[in-house]
Amino acid sequence: MSAALARIPRPVAALLLALAIHLIGMALIRGFGTMFGIRAMLVLATLLAIAAIGQTLVIIIGGIDLSIPFVIGFANVTAAQLYGDGVPFAVVLPLVLLVAMAIGALNGLVSASLAIHPLIVTLGTGTALQGAVQLWTAGFPTGAAPSYVTSFVSIGGSIGPIPVPWLIPAFLVLAALVILALGRTVYGRRLYALGSNPRAAQLALVDPVRTWTITFALSAGFAALTGVLLLGFSGAAYARVGEPYLFQTIAAVVIGGTTLIGGRGGYLGTIAGALCLIELTTVLVGLGLKPPLVQATLGVTIVALVAIYGREAHVRELI
């Protein structure tokens, strides 16, 4: 059976799993399939998928980014504080994104140029960033997002007769651009080349330091964007709002079929993985499971999925 499942394209397998979980939820939980419930899961899955863009790029290149939850918290609090202090949001948003991307670029530059594993670098810079935010706000961040940002991500929002907020179509455009960049641009080919065989990629004149720096900068940028969107979603700033995304971004990437050793996968699978993860989490919470048991169940699910279709040899071993 596992061999048959392994032959199914991974994004398709993740989407089928999400559909199966949704049907189970409808059968077991009253009101699970309502329009409001579906919209809520779509918004949550979209926020996770945006945060996981960078994690997908980083993992394809053969790294991992543990700073994502800290950057999300930084952007969430900083945007709220600055806007609350009277800084125009048109200035706040690009400023927050640029600072976050500078931090991400530093992660990639240090990891690639000094040959330090990104797990160590990103965890270190992320922890330092969270500490700096806590010192700045004294642990009590203030401020909120503009009303139009809240409307943009609101579960109850709609686009005319279409019962979804503007976040959903905007994300579809963003997702198409990311998929296009991975499959049709020089940058995308360099990512897969470095993830598949770093030595061969360098011989082909791919600059690993430059590519790693750009990739980690993009990862931090998308994490910061998620933090700002979460500010509009929740209505209040919280420095630890990104904590769930440490596990969830990696899980979405793995469920979607991107291999943790690099060189294989794609963002379409990550989107399917994010949807699958939110569906599963919603079902488990709806069944009344406590948070620790929810986490344990999710962990077992990830291990099972990797065991089914995550054991193939590295790309360079198949040549």
**Is 258 domain-assigned?**
yes
Report how far Cα 180 is from the mean position of its chain's Cα atoms.
Answer: 18
* Residues pairing with 162 in the sheet: 159
User: Between these two residues, 157 and 99, which has the higher pLDDT value?
Assistant: 99
Maximum Cα–Cα distance for the chain, whole Å? 60
**Does 108 fall in a domain?**
yes
Residue 207 lies in a domain: yes
Task: Report if residue 202 sits inside a domain.
Answer: yes
* Listed range (52-66, 154-168, 225-239) with the worst mean pLDDT: 154-168
Residue 314 near residue 263, CB atoms below 8 Å: yes
User: Does residue 308 form part of some domain?
Assistant: no
pLDDT in tens, 245-274: 988 999 899 888 888 888 788 999 999 999
**Domain around 98:** 35-281
Name the average pLDDT for the chain. 87
Is the pLDDT at 304 greater than 70, yes or no? Answer: yes
Give the amino acid at 283.
V
- For residue 89, being part of any structural domain is answered with yes
Does 22 reside within a domain?
no
How confident is the model over 166-198, as pLDDT tens digits? 999 999 999 999 999 999 999 999 999 998 888
102-116, 247-261, 278-292, 293-307: the lowest-pLDDT one: 293-307
Task: Judge whether 48 lies within some domain.
Answer: yes
The gap from C-alpha 235 to its chain's centroid, in whole angstroms, comes to 21
How many domains in the chain? 1
pLDDT at 310 exceeding the cut of 80:
no
Rank 50-54, 145-149, 242-246, 283-287 by mean pLDDT and report only the highest.
50-54
Residue with tokens 């009101």: 31
Best CA proximity match to 239, nearest among 101, 94, 131: 131
- The enclosing domain of 177 has a CATH number of 1.10.3470
